[in-house]
Amino acid sequence: MKRVRKLIPVDSLDLTGLEVWLEEMAARGLHLERLGRSTALFLRGEPAAVRYRLEPLEGVKGRDWAEYDAVLAGDGWELVADEVENTCRLYRTADPNAPEVHTDPVVQSFVLERLVRRQRRGLALSLVLFAAMLVLLVWLQLRRDRGFVLWLVENASPILLFFPLLMVLLVLDLGSSLKQLRRLGQLKDQLAQGFPLQRERTYRRRYLSHATVWLPNLVLFLTFVVQMGSAFSAWYLPLGEARLPFPLPAVTELTEDAALDETPRYTQGFLAEYHNGVHYRWYPLADLYEVDQCITAEEGAVEYHLAARWYDLRLPFLAERLTKDLADDETEHRAKKVTVSGLDRTWTAQIGQYQYLFACAGDKVLSLTWRGDGGAVDLAPIALQILSEQ
Q: Which spans of this chain sit near another protein (rule: CB under 8 A)?
A: 53, 55, 59-64, 67-68, 71-72, 75, 77, 99-104, 106-108, 110-111, 113, 117, 120, 194
Instruction: End-to-end CA distance of the chain: give it in Å, rounded.
Output: 66
- By the 8 A CB rule, do 8 and 30 touch? no
- By the 8 A CB rule, do 184 and 120 touch? no
CB of 313 to another protein, least distance (A): 54
Question: How far is the C-alpha of 350 from the C-alpha of 366, rounded, in Å?
Answer: 17
Question: How far is the C-alpha of 89 from the C-alpha of 63, rounded, in Å?
Answer: 13
What separation in angstroms does the CA of 40 have from each of 4, 86, 92, 117, 248?
A: 8, 15, 15, 27, 62
Question: How far is the C-alpha of 227 from the C-alpha of 233, rounded, in Å?
Answer: 10
Question: How far is the C-alpha of 352 from the C-alpha of 111, rounded, in Å?
Answer: 76
CB of 200 to another protein, least distance (A): 20
Does residue 276 sit in helix, strand or coil? coil
CB of 85 to another protein, least distance (A): 19
Give 115-124 contacts, CB < 8 A, sequence gap 24+: 115/56, 115/58, 115/59, 115/87, 115/184, 116/181, 116/184, 116/185, 116/188, 118/58, 118/87, 119/13, 119/87, 119/177, 119/181, 119/184, 120/181, 123/174, 123/177, 123/178, 123/181
CB of 71 to another protein, least distance (A): 5
User: Cβ closer to another protein: 189 or 373?
Assistant: 189
CB of 94 to another protein, least distance (A): 17
Question: How far is the C-alpha of 78 from the C-alpha of 24, rounded, in Å?
Answer: 18
User: Cβ closer to another protein: 60 or 132?
Assistant: 60
The distance of Cα 178 from the centroid of its chain, to the nearest Å, equals 23
Helix or strand holding residue 355 (H, E): strand 354-361
DSSP category for residue 273: G
Pick from 126, 147, 368, 329: nearest CA to 247: 368
User: Cβ closer to another protein: 67 or 241?
Assistant: 67
CB of 42 to another protein, least distance (A): 25
CB of 101 to another protein, least distance (A): 4
User: Cβ closer to another protein: 96 or 269?
Assistant: 96
- By the 8 A CB rule, do 223 and 162 touch? yes
CB of 119 to another protein, least distance (A): 12
CB of 117 to another protein, least distance (A): 7
Q: List CB contacts of 164: < 8 A, sequence separation 6 or more.
A: none
CB of 28 to another protein, least distance (A): 27
Instruction: Judge residue 83's burial from the number of C-beta atoms within 10 Å of its C-beta, 0-12 exposed, 13-18 middle, 19 or more buried.
Output: exposed
